[in-house]
Amino acid sequence: MFGKGSKLYSILSLKCPRCHNGSFLEANPYHLGRFNKVKKRCPSCQLKYSIEPSFYYGSMYVSYAVGIAISVAVFILIQLFGLDLAPTYIFITIVVALILLMPYIGAISKLIWANFFFTYDASIAKAKQDSK
């Protein structure tokens, strides 16, 4: 379910959506010098990551949805742990969590967006592994 071949593997491991071998980003999402900069091509299968100019603008919608999901998850965790916090402190906790996770949210949002348009190709992935 989470191994190579699943979209979730590509998204969580920040790998190419087609071959699941090459890295998707130029650097770690928390490397602020190259904040969530997507490579032009996959270093493994040479897939061009951007279909058209401004391709990743659509990932902003995905980022919004991921941010809402994380906010709800933080709220549920606060309730499950039985923390009796005032609404102001709950809000502050959610905002801090979103700020700390912002680089990763941006990275996975771009990968989720890319996975809408690119599919895993086992033959390419196998060919790349065999050539190593």
CA distance 45 to 77: 40
pLDDT of residue 1: 60
Residue the block writes with tokens 């969580």 = 12
CA distance 6 to 71: 26
The reply to whether 90 falls in a domain is yes
**Residue 75 belongs to what domain range?**
7-130
The reply to whether 122 falls in a domain is yes
Please give, one letter per residue, the 3-state secondary structure of the chain.
CCCCCCHHHHHHHCECCCCCCCECECCCCCCHHHCCCECCECCCCCCECCCCCCHHHHHHHHHHHHHHHHHHHHHHHHHHCCCCCCHHHHHHHHHHHHHHHHHHHHHHHHHHHHHHHCCCCHHHHHHHHHCC
The reply to whether 1 falls in a domain is no
Residue the block writes with tokens 């491991």 = 13
CA distance 23 to 39: 8
pLDDT of residue 10: 92
CA distance 75 to 126: 42
The 10s digit of each residue's pLDDT in 6-31 is: 899 999 999 999 999 999 999 999 88
The reply to whether 2 falls in a domain is no
The reply to whether 108 falls in a domain is yes
The 10s digit of each residue's pLDDT in 32-80 is: 888 889 999 999 999 999 889 899 999 999 999 999 999 999 999 999 9
The reply to whether 103 falls in a domain is yes
The reply to whether 91 falls in a domain is yes
Q: Which residue has the higher pLDDT, 3 or 48?
A: 48
The reply to whether 33 falls in a domain is yes
pTM over 0.75: yes
Domain count along the chain = 1
